[in-house]
Amino acid sequence: MSTFHDRTILLALAGSRAHGTASETSDVDLLGVAIPTRKEVFSVFHHFEQENDSKNLQGFTSCLTAAEQEVVSGSKLEGTVYSVQKFLHLAAMANPNMIELLFCRESEVRLVTRLGQLLRQARDLFITTKCRHTFGGYASNQLGRLRRHYRWHHDGPVGPPDRADYDLPTMARISKADVDAAEAAVQTQLDRWELDLNEVEPAVRIDVENRIAQTMAEWNLASDSEKWNAAARWIGLDDNLVEMIQQERHWRKANQEWHKYRRWMESRNPERARLEAEYGYDTKHGAHLVRLLRMGIEIISTGQVHVWRGDRDADELTAIRNGAWRYERLCEWADQTYAELEKIESVLPPNTDRDRVDQLCMHILEQGLALEDR
């Protein structure tokens, strides 16, 4: 019977070790692809999509270099191995982690079979303009998390919000069920006003989004709260009821913020907390978002994927991680670069050829299952 290790067709270093920004003691993270068993392919109840349990990844320790094995011996081996179907689905959506696994240097690959080589050889199939949104989106998420944690670190809530601060009585004047029903009705109206621009050509989409934003500003509907009020009145809610619900919504949002802050304080990574205390923000997040935005621009403008940053900007990324950029500089740079990424014209195709991806997937599965039958 084949083992999980036997069914893995591609395994490579991920994170800082794949980017060229690692120190000798940096964690060892892995990304990989495996063939499901025949039962997992055809069963109704037993499926395999990914494995990220550290205990089940220990079998890959023998694939590592001696230096990497020494690091793992003092910590634990982390990472994720995906089924070939899930990997190809994520790659077709231009998931940055999957793109990096396909384009990392051969020297970072720790295990590869003939079927794994087929994936690597087909990697250009997954380079589309979707990379604009995925690399930019990941970076935007990093920036949002960084800004939220910066705010909490410097001016976090001191306690749960008081209802009186929102001109609310101790007991709600309207039931939660009624608030939820009103919010659902308003959200339905807001959804009707939204345009689905995901399939629109990027240059046209950006222009349309800018025009919509300008129109909303002219109508004094720039903020989410103003849009919500307009939608509430559009469906006929009474002004007094709208005001009451908005007060409840603002208090509820503040209460959620308090609970998120508490969970963050209780579960903070010690190293991240040290960076925030020393530099005022999470510099590791900062280095990640700089790399993601730069990679996004490189891909969209040239079609080239540079996972290894050692001969490009690894020294600067390491310096950013070590606090070289002030928080204000990082945010300003990120906002400007994200806007630049959105405007770059690209010759890349808008989508992956799904038929070719399906053919690749079926071929690899058939070949992999045939090996299991031997």
Q: How far apart are CA 17 and CA 101, in angstroms?
A: 12
Between CA 178 and CA 184, with CA 180 as vertex, the angle to 5 degrees is 120
* The pair of three-digit structure tokens given for residue 63, joined into one six-digit string: 């694939």
Torsion angle of the four alpha carbons 162, 165, 169, 173, in this order, in degrees rounded to the nearest 10: -100
Q: What is the pLDDT along the chain (374 residues), one digit of tens a residue?
A: 568 888 999 999 999 999 999 988 889 999 999 999 999 888 888 889 999 988 889 999 999 999 999 999 888 889 999 999 999 999 999 999 999 999 999 999 999 999 999 999 999 999 999 999 999 989 988 898 899 999 998 888 889 998 888 888 887 777 778 778 888 888 888 888 776 666 655 545 555 666 656 665 555 545 677 788 888 888 888 887 788 888 888 888 889 999 999 998 898 888 888 888 899 999 999 999 999 999 999 999 999 999 999 999 999 999 999 999 999 999 999 999 999 999 999 989 999 999 999 999 999 999 999 877 66
**Residue 165 burial by CB count (10 A; 0-12/13-18/19+): exposed, middle or buried?**
exposed
| CB-CB contact of 30 with 11 (8 Å) | yes
HSE-CB for 256 with a 13 A CA cutoff:
6
